[in-house]
Structure 1
Amino acid sequence: MATPCPERTREIQRIFVRLMTRAVGAGNDHAFACMIASRASGLGALPPWLGLAPEAFNALMGYHFPGVSPEVLSSLDGAAPNPAREDERTELVALLGSQRAGHTHSELWMAEVVAAGCMATDHLWQDLGLWNRRALTALMRRNFPRLAMTNAGDMKWKRFLYKQLCEREGVYLCRAPSCEECADYHVCFGPED
């Protein structure tokens, strides 16, 4: 994510601190606080309510940040999800949901939010409003550990998720016998700064 202007940085920090002050200590508190603060400040590419239904977003706020009004995101409308990509988003939610850790309902919200982030055009961590790729990797390991372990080569997350969808359908688009031999290796595996 490009460095935001100082005014935006202060706004993001103000919202982030407000959320984390009320956080319950659950594993996804930090990631959701980053996403909400970024989204409320106009950064990232998530649709309204992080891509959740308003009722689900309210439940997320009540679970992770009790006492903080869900209206923290009411100041921004943003683009609604593209209905033409609903099947794709649904498949991503199903993939993530089938691989979740199974510890908390928060993983289901995270599956919805990550799938919404996949609908945008930048690196997934940037589209989600996270502050670096390490935060996304930690989020994936915490919420979807079996799936994260499958990404042993540290492929870029969005590409990895779509590759998983293709393999589920028996579609193998790569012509190279292995990633290391592919001419597009740098596209799938390089730095994401």
Structure 2
Amino acid sequence: MAATPEQSLSPSSAAQPAPEPASLYRSLLSAPTPCSTAAPFTAHVFACILSIGVFDAYQHETSVSAAIGLNRAQIEALTRNWLPAASAHIDLRAEPETAPFDDEEEQLQGLLTSHQADAAPESVWLTAIVTRRSMLDNHLWQDLGLFDRGDLNRLMSERYPVLAARNASNMKWKKFLYRSLCEMEGFTLCTAPSCQECSDFDNCFGDESGESSLARIRRDLSRAV
């Protein structure tokens, strides 16, 4: 997704090297707040997301907003209440006041919003983040910077319990979300009579293990030194 001039980082921010995300993750959790102490898993999720989002923003010379789908006010509230150490790596003055979504993203955002467990700001933020990161190419848990598929399963169960319960067969989350969108529109994503009879079964239900994005980036950076 190309950044608009409004979404670009300031020149001084773009000139700095991207913070190594695994180290940034640890740094973000080193300054606990009442929110992060009360809900450590949510703090872990936000730390993963901001670590990969800040890295992507630096790497692609765009804004954190463009990377994770939150606007300036939302990023400010998230960092203030959950991960204040992130403020050293995000120039809020360069972040846009709005975080526009294209038509495809708006449809997915609508699906997630309709299934949120509550209307808490954290749930609203996560809906926007999951929407934006779903547009990338890896497994969703990797694109969110999470440690493994188990983290994503827990996130979906806590924030979108009804939607998560419908994924009882453990379909890959991106596949499941898009199939759910198709069902909402009244048509089916594929023509197989059942998943068990589908010749492309592994494409929807295959293994989702692998290296986390934080670990992969750290390894790649160490090799480049």
TM superposition score normalised by structure 1: 0.80
Give the equivalent residue in structure 1 for 2:50: 36
Count residues in correspondence. Answer: 179
Give the equivalent residue in structure 2 for 1:61: 79
Shift of 1:57: 1.1
Structure 1 residues 189 and 169: alpha-carbon distance in aligned structure 2, compared to 1, 3 A threshold: same
Structure 1 residues 64 and 8: alpha-carbon distance in aligned structure 2, compared to 1, 3 A threshold: closer
- Equivalent-residue separation in structure 2 for 1:47 and 1:181 (angstroms): 44
Shift of 1:42: 4.5
- Equivalent-residue separation in structure 1 for 2:63 and 2:205 (angstroms): 27
TM superposition score normalised by structure 2: 0.69
Give the equivalent residue in structure 2 for 1:51: 69
Identity level (%) = 35
Judge conservation of contact 1:12–1:38 (CA < 8 Å) in 2. no
1:136-155 equivalences in 2 (<5 Å): 136-155=152-171
| Mapped pair 1:172 → 2:184 | no
Equivalent residue letter for 2:181: L
Give the equivalent residue in structure 2 for 1:189: 205
Judge conservation of contact 1:15–1:37 (CA < 8 Å) in 2. no
Gaps of 5+ in 2: 1-18, 95-99, 211-225
Deviation string, structure 1 residues 114-173 (Cα, Å, up to 9, x no partner): 000111111111111112111111110110000000000100001110111011001213
Of the two, which has the highest radius of gyration? Answer: 2
Judge conservation of contact 2:195–2:201 (CA < 8 Å) in 1. yes
Shift of 1:18: 2.7
Judge conservation of contact 2:69–2:129 (CA < 8 Å) in 1. yes
Superposed CA RMSD: 2.9
Structure 1 residues 47 and 166: alpha-carbon distance in aligned structure 2, compared to 1, 3 A threshold: farther
SS at match of 1:28: helix
